[in-house]
Every structure is written in structure tokens, then in C-alpha cells.
Amino acid sequence: MDLANKSAIVTGGSLGIGSAIALDLAKNGANVAMNYRKHAEEAEKIAEQIRALGRKALVVKADVSSFKDAENMVKQVVETFGRVDILVNNAGINMDSVIWKMTEEQWDQVININLKGYFNYIRAVAGLFKQQNYGKIVNLTSINGMRGKFGQSNYTASKAGIIGLTKSVARELGKFSVNVNAIAPGLIETDMVRSAPEEVRQKALAEIVMGRIGQPEEVAQVVSFLCSEKARHITGEVIKVDGGQYI
């Protein structure tokens, strides 16, 4: 995938799947901007790796749930890179609880970061993408947003909302040559998954027909494909990267 001279924003690009996405986009030629909220050191390390590939990197402290932070970050990217071509919405959290114990704070925080955060960044780039008649948006959702999961009503609601958001924005921006798609990972080997109780890991692993946990790079490679011209006739889709876990 040739993404030379393209400029990308990856939210939550300092850790896990987000860092793999940022690096894969850079390996395919893109300059990459990432936000962070708490993990400044980790974000800078990824930025150093991007620069070592001969690409430009920008690290911005921004809370994805803040409409103003999203606007300001997009402005910084345009000032630094000259334009924005790609938006990958990846930043997200989980605060699990059964519904009868879930607090208002647990609900609001997950929805504000996982769903409103995606809206904030899409809204911030939409005008630019319309004006330049070009853009690629990839939203990270989850197979659990397609099927539900015990103890994750806030998380699955946010991820289901991302699917609806993706399809609506794909309809709205399609005539401006903007592709909008979603990727729904299953169980992926991240720090969060590695720290999960072994019983939980084994139960999820038993669902995966490929018989192994996915790697962040396997998600990242699909993102790069969707951001390339090889996927120029794909929009409004939700692509599962789950080793058959959803089947």
C-alpha cells in the first residue's frame, strides 16, 4: 500500500492496537500524528520509531472526549503536515460492570470517549475532506458491538454506536470521495488482554476458530489497506479481524 505523502491522525496511537496502526501507516509512507491523554512517554517512543522510518511524526496532548481538543489537534496537524488525508479513530476505554451495578460515571466515561470521541474527530476533519474531495476514515469498533457481551453494556453500546456512525457518515461523505469504514477486532494480544484472568482468556480463545489470539499488527495491516487506493470502492463496511471468533 503506497501512502507516500499522506498525512494521518491516529487517536490513542501510543499503546496497543493504536501504536501498531501508527507504525504500519508510517511503514507504508504516511506521516502520522497521534494524541495522548496520559501516556506521553509511550507516544514519544512511537513517534521516534516513525521518524526513524523517514516519516514525520507529531504528538499532541488531547482528550478525545473534548470537542475543542479535537478541533485544535486537527489544526495543529494541518499546520505541521500541510493537510490531513486519513483519520483512524482508535482511542477507547472499558469500565466493565453488570448493568445493575454500573454507575452513571462508568456509563458516561465510556460513551464520551468511545463514541463521542469518534464524532469529535470526524466532525473536525469532515470540512477539510469535503473541501479537498478526498479522505479516508477508519473507525475501530469490536465484535462485541455486533453481538453484545455480559458485563459490558456501556462498552458494547459505544461500539455498536460506532457502527451506526460509520454507515451514516459513509453515506454523507461518499459523494466527496471519502471512504468511511470500520474494523471490528476480536481478542487481540494487548496489555489489557495479557492482564486478564487466565480463565477469561481461555474462554475467549475457545471461541476463535483459528485457535490463537490475534496480533495488533494484523489489525493494523487491514487499516492500512482501507486507507489505500486499493480500497477506494469500499465504504460503509464493517470488517471483522477476529480469527472467526464471531462465527
Query: Total structural domains in the chain?
Result: 1
Whether residue 54 is contained in a domain is answered as: yes
Whether residue 235 is contained in a domain is answered as: yes
pLDDT string in tens for the chain (247-residue length): 699 999 999 999 999 999 999 999 999 999 999 999 888 999 999 999 999 999 999 999 999 999 999 999 999 999 999 999 999 999 998 898 999 999 999 999 999 999 999 999 999 999 999 999 999 999 999 999 999 999 899 999 999 999 999 999 999 999 999 999 999 999 999 887 787 788 888 888 999 999 999 999 999 999 999 999 999 999 999 999 999 999 9
Give residue 21's Cα distance to chain centre. 8
pLDDT for the residue numbered 200: 81
DSSP 9-45: EETTTTSHHHHHHHHHHHHTT-EEEEEESS-HHHHHH
CB atoms within 10 A of CB 128: 17
pLDDT for the residue numbered 55: 97
Whether residue 204 is contained in a domain is answered as: yes
Whether residue 1 is contained in a domain is answered as: no
Host domain of residue 44: 7-241
- Half-sphere exposure (Cβ direction) of 159: Cα atoms closer than 13 Å: 26
pLDDT for the residue numbered 191: 80
Q: What CATH number is attached to the domain comprising 169?
A: 3.40.50.720
Q: Which residues participate in catalysis according to the annotation? A: 155
Q: What are phi and psi of 215, to 5 degrees?
A: -110, 150
